Structures are given as C-alpha cells and as structure tokens.
Chain A
Amino acid sequence: MIVRKAALTPVRYAGSSLRELAWHTQRYFTLLWRSIHGTVTRPFYGKDLAVQLDSIGVGSIGIVILTGLFTGMVLALQSAVEMRQFGATIYIGRLVGASTVRELGPVLTALMVTGRAGSGIAAELGAMRVTEQIDALNTMGVDPVRKLVVPRFVACLIALPLLTIITDLVAIFGGLLIAVVKLDLTFDLYMRSVYSTLAQNGFLLRYIPIDFVSGLSKPLFFGAIIAITSCYYGLSTRGGTEGVGRAATGAVVTSSIFILATDYFLTQLIIGLFIE
C-alpha cells in the first residue's frame, strides 16, 4: 500500500520530510566527497575538463563583463547622489572598489554563472538521466561522477575566481566611466580612491590586499556549490522532460540560496580571521 504524504499527520509529515532532507544531504555530501576524490585520483578526463572550461568559463565571460560594467556604473551613480550632498564624490572610488571586490564581484559573478551554466549543467545531466545515457555509462564501466561531475567541478573551481577578477576589474572600470564622464573626477583621483580602500584592511604576505584574498576565496566555495548542486539536481532527475525543467529550476534556486548563505558565513570567518 502506498502511503501518501497528504494523508499523514503533521508530525509524521514533518518526520518524513526530515528523513528525506537527511537523505538528500547525505547524498549531496557524498557527491561532493566523490568529486574531490575524483579530482586527485585517476582516471583524469582532460578533454572533458577543457570542454567544460570553455563552456562554463569562456562562455560566461560576456555575461560577467556586462554584469560588472553596469554594476560599477550604477554603484557610482547611486553613491554620487548621496555623496554630492556632502561634497564627498572623491570617495566614489572607495565605495565602488570596496563593495565590488569584497561582496558584489564574487556574489554577482556566482549568481550569473549559476543562472547561465548551473541551469545548463542540471538540464544536460537531467536529459542524460531521463534518456538513459547515465545508465549507458554505468553499463560500459564508466563512473558518471568521474566522467561528468569531476570535469564540471574542476572547471567551476578554476573559472569562478578568474571570472570574479574580470567582474571586479570591469565594475571598477564602469565606476571610472561614470566618475570621469558624469562627475568630472580625474582618472588618477578615482584610482587612488580605489587603491586606498583595498589597502585599508591590510595586506597578506606584505603585498596581497586582504580584501582581494577574501574576494577570491569566496569564488572557490561558490564554484563548488554551483557544480555540485547543479550536478546533484541533474543526476537525480526523474520524470521525463518535465523533470529536466524542474531540475534546472531547482539547481538555480538552491545554488543561489547556498551562495548567499555561504557568503554570509565566509564573510564572518574572514572578518574574524584577518580583520578584527
């Protein structure tokens, strides 16, 4: 007899949902562990990694450039409105630099890559699942985690920090455009302002700004989240093409929430470790 969830009492329903959550959590972290293990042990799929780097990394460059440019421009514009009242427009570079490098660069890049590549990964693996291509791999003695998940995992770990650097630079450039064209600041003044904020929290190993380290450590975590969440949803797909759609949506929503939550905890950790 099939017991339907709707027929359960609230307490039993909560128990059943918690069991399901625990089951998914265990499988999620198992996938993460197998991906890390697959990254450092043979066989390596170099060609597949190159394809994924091209798809996830190179393919996302356009979208992160646009994101960075408009984010930097709008940050400069919005802050100018407030700062003009106090005659403090010379500090626009500080505001754009700090908010971009510390928070907006990593988070917006991760969210854009989630929307673009994460949904693609979930849909591709989901389609492979429902058309039995994953079973075909297993049948031919090929581990789908090593063949499909590990190249995407490594590609995300490599691509996200690089894409974040691009977003940061383009956002600072976007702020510069507004500062020079609309606010009559000089290039030199704006760039000094940006540098001063990066130097504010000190340096690691004398030369690397702490803000930069903080900004580039986050994308590593975000890359892992995007890859594992998207692959998990893709590989767990059930129910034909409708299931593929659900997997893609689920991957984007869950990855985005995980990214925002992880960002908070990482920021707390970085402040505790380096700044306080």
Chain B
Amino acid sequence: MSGTRDLLWDSGHLRLEREEARRLMEEGGAPSPQSSDDPLISLKDLDLRFGDHVVLDGISLDVWSGETVCILGGSGAGKSTILRLILGLIKPNGGQILVRGRDVATASREELLELRKDMGMVFQEAALFDSLTVYDNVAFYLHEHEDLPEEEVARRVDESLRMVDLDPEQVEDLLPAELSGGMKKRVGIARALIHQPSILLYDEPTSGLDPITTRTIDDLVLKLQRELGVTSVVVTHDIRSAFRIGNRVALLFGGEIVFQGTPEEMMESGDGYVREFLH
C-alpha cells in the first residue's frame, strides 16, 4: 500500500518537475530540437566487451541537434562508457559511433582531435587540474590551442564563468581544492564551454550534490540548451534530474537500451524494469 502511494507521489512529483522545466524552456524561447535532419550523434549496434564481460550489447541511439538526451541506468550499467566511446577515448568491439556523420571508432588521431574541438565534457568529479587555478583551468583549452592575446582569454574566461553563475573576481584565483562540490561542477562546465562546442557530454553532473545544488545544476543545463542551443548527452542515475532536463531519456540495463522515448512516455511505460526504475 505504502509502495503504491510512494509510486503515485513520485510520478506526480516527476510530472511537476517536467512541467516546470518545459515552462522554463518556453519562457526562454528555446529552439526546438531539429529531428528532421540527420542526427548529430548516432550510435549504431554498438558492442563493447572487457575480456569476457559484455558492457554494451548492440545498443543504438540517435541524438538530434539542440536536444538533451539523458541516459539512465544503475551503477555499473555502462552509462559513462557510452560518453567515453563518443569521445573516442575507447574503441568499441563492433558497431558505429557517428558524430556529424564521421565514425569516431575508425577516426585517425587527427580526426579525433578535430571532432573533439566541437565537444565539451563535464566529468563526474569535475576533473579539474589540481595544480591550476580556476582561471587557468577554464582557460586551459585556449592556452593550448588558440593563439589569443591574454586579454581576450581573460574576457572569454569571465564570460564562461558568468554563464555558469560564478563571479569571476571571487573564484578565478582559487585552487580546485578550495571549491565546494557544486562550484567544482560549475567550473567544470565553464571549462567545457570555453571553446563554444555544440555538443556537451555530462557524466553524472549532479551526483554527490545536495538537492538544492542539484536543482541549480539542472537549471544550468537547461539554460545552456536554451541560450546556446547546445546538444547534450547527460549520463545520470538521478531520475528527477533526467525528467527535468531531458527531451528524451534512454534506460540502460544489462548492456542494452531497454527503453528510449520522452519522459512522458517513460512514465506511461508498462515495462517491468522501467516501472521498477521509476519506483
């Protein structure tokens, strides 16, 4: 009885989250995802094994320009591995990973570097460089790849930090160890944004955060989609976050995608594992 009540309460709560996110997007005049063109990212029959352990078993998933797709699943389901495959950090045993029509799995090192210029990655623990200040972390890509005057770099760093609602003057000189968990995530997002990529990959952006900070990060993901039209793939096990920020969600279980569709479709799904996961 109590389980049914919890499920109803959860469903109602998820619906409210969803409606609020939609309202935020509409108020901001967000561009609607373009599903008519070819997908920006397309995973086709992707297989991945580590030794005898099957991590991904023939998964397929399309991500269209301007949309946010959340990949849900339990711990160790292989969610983060999908992001690493998209980035070309690991190679699949079979299948294709097309980014703008180019196969990451067979791309040369130079092609991969070129593809990654259009992608930004937000890591689970932010992965900020310990020895560098916030400023140097955010400016890292520009210092490495673009021959810009330092004033221009500083302007872009300021812009990125303000985009993630951080005050540059207060945080620029701090080291990562001096930041809270939520601030680290924001600096991680600012670093991923600095070269203005059109694809952002988030690995558990809200794990380990309190509910209020989680909401702030969710709103930030929505803001980036709304204001910059960024295409996002978000790996998470937080169902509320996924329902709030995702245009579509995919549920990973046993190396396969057992569900993909809109959050509304997921709420109405009769699949046993989907029901169990929602509960």
**Does B127 contact A135, Cβ atoms closer than 8 Å?**
yes
Partner of B129, one of A2, A3, A133, A139: A133
Task: Determine whether B140 belongs to the interface, using a CB cutoff of 8 Å to chain A.
Answer: yes
The answer to whether A142 and B144 touch (CB under 8 A), given A131-B127, A133-B129, A136-B129, is yes
Task: Provide the bound-state CA to CA distance between A128 and B117, in Å.
Answer: 22
Partner of A2, one of B52, B84, B140: B52
Inter-chain contacts of B17 with A (CB < 8 A): none
Task: Determine whether A54 belongs to the interface, using a CB cutoff of 8 Å to chain B.
Answer: no
Give the top 3 A-B pairs by smallest Cβ distance, nearest first. Answer: A132-B127, A136-B127, A139-B121
Task: Determine whether A200 belongs to the interface, using a CB cutoff of 8 Å to chain B.
Answer: no
Question: Which residue of A is nearest B145, CB measured?
Answer: A141
Interface of chain B residues 113 through 144 with chain A (CB within 8 A)? 113, 116-117, 119-121, 123-125, 127-130, 140-141, 144
The answer to whether A139 and B89 touch (CB under 8 A), given A132-B127, A133-B129, A133-B130, is yes
Partner of B140, one of A1, A128, A140: A140
Residues of chain B whose beta carbon lies under 8 Å from any beta carbon of chain A: 51-53, 84, 87, 89, 113, 116-117, 119-121, 123-125, 127-130, 140-141, 144-145
Question: Which residue of A is nearest B112, CB measured?
Answer: A141
Mark contacts of A120-135 with chain B using CB atoms, 8 A cut-off: 1 yes-contact digit, 0 otherwise. 0000000110011101
**Does B117 contact A141, Cβ atoms closer than 8 Å?**
yes
Partner of B116, one of A127, A132, A140: A140
Task: Determine whether A138 belongs to the interface, using a CB cutoff of 8 Å to chain B.
Answer: yes
How close is B146's CB to chain A, nearest CB, in angstroms? 11
A-B contact count (CB 8 A): 49
**Does B119 contact A139, Cβ atoms closer than 8 Å?**
yes
Inter-chain contacts of B52 with A (CB < 8 A): 1-3
Inter-chain contacts of B128 with A (CB < 8 A): 133, 136
Partner of B127, one of A3, A133, A141, A142: A133
Can you offer 8 A-B residue contacts whose CB atoms are under 8 A?
A2-B52, A128-B130, A135-B84, A135-B89, A135-B123, A139-B121, A140-B145, A141-B117
Question: Which residue of B is nearest A135, CB measured?
Answer: B89
**Does B125 contact A139, Cβ atoms closer than 8 Å?**
no
Inter-chain contacts of A135 with B (CB < 8 A): 84, 89, 121, 123, 127
Question: Which residue of A is nearest B121, CB measured?
Answer: A139
**Does B53 contact A136, Cβ atoms closer than 8 Å?**
no
**Does B123 contact A141, Cβ atoms closer than 8 Å?**
no
How close is A47's CB to chain B, nearest CB, in angstroms? 10
Task: Provide the bound-state CA to CA distance between A131 and B52, in Å.
Answer: 26
Residues of chain A whose beta carbon lies under 8 Å from any beta carbon of chain B: 1-3, 127-128, 131-133, 135-136, 138-142
Task: Provide the bound-state CA to CA distance between A59 and B52, in Å.
Answer: 46
**Does B51 contact A141, Cβ atoms closer than 8 Å?**
no
Task: Provide the bound-state CA to CA distance between A141 and B130, in Å.
Answer: 19
**Does A136 contact B141, Cβ atoms closer than 8 Å?**
no
The answer to whether A141 and B84 touch (CB under 8 A), given A2-B52, A135-B123, is no
Task: Provide the bound-state CA to CA distance between A3 and B121, in Å.
Answer: 35
How close is A59's CB to chain B, nearest CB, in angstroms? 15
Inter-chain contacts of B123 with A (CB < 8 A): 132, 135-136
Inter-chain contacts of B119 with A (CB < 8 A): 139
**Does B125 contact A131, Cβ atoms closer than 8 Å?**
yes
Task: Provide the bound-state CA to CA distance between A83 and B21, in Å.
Answer: 89
Task: Provide the bound-state CA to CA distance between A161 and B119, in Å.
Answer: 44
**Does A139 contact B116, Cβ atoms closer than 8 Å?**
yes
Inter-chain contacts of B53 with A (CB < 8 A): 2
**Does A2 contact B51, Cβ atoms closer than 8 Å?**
yes
Task: Provide the bound-state CA to CA distance between A3 and B116, in Å.
Answer: 36
How close is A149's CB to chain B, nearest CB, in angstroms? 16
**Does A140 contact B141, Cβ atoms closer than 8 Å?**
yes
Question: Which residue of B is nearest A132, CB measured?
Answer: B127
Inter-chain contacts of A138 with B (CB < 8 A): 87, 89
How close is B104's CB to chain A, nearest CB, in angstroms? 13
Inter-chain contacts of A142 with B (CB < 8 A): 144
Question: Which residue of A is nearest B50, CB measured?
Answer: A2
How close is A77's CB to chain B, nearest CB, in angstroms? 44
How close is A53's CB to chain B, nearest CB, in angstroms? 16
How close is B219's CB to chain A, nearest CB, in angstroms? 24
The answer to whether A141 and B89 touch (CB under 8 A), given A131-B125, A131-B127, is no
Inter-chain contacts of A2 with B (CB < 8 A): 51-53
How close is A128's CB to chain B, nearest CB, in angstroms? 8
How close is B139's CB to chain A, nearest CB, in angstroms? 11
How close is A252's CB to chain B, nearest CB, in angstroms? 22
Question: Which residue of A is nearest B188, CB measured?
Answer: A136
Task: Provide the bound-state CA to CA distance between A140 and B144, in Å.
Answer: 9
**Does A141 contact B113, Cβ atoms closer than 8 Å?**
yes
Question: Which residue of A is nearest B84, CB measured?
Answer: A135
Inter-chain contacts of B124 with A (CB < 8 A): 132
Task: Provide the bound-state CA to CA distance between A160 and B14, in Å.
Answer: 62
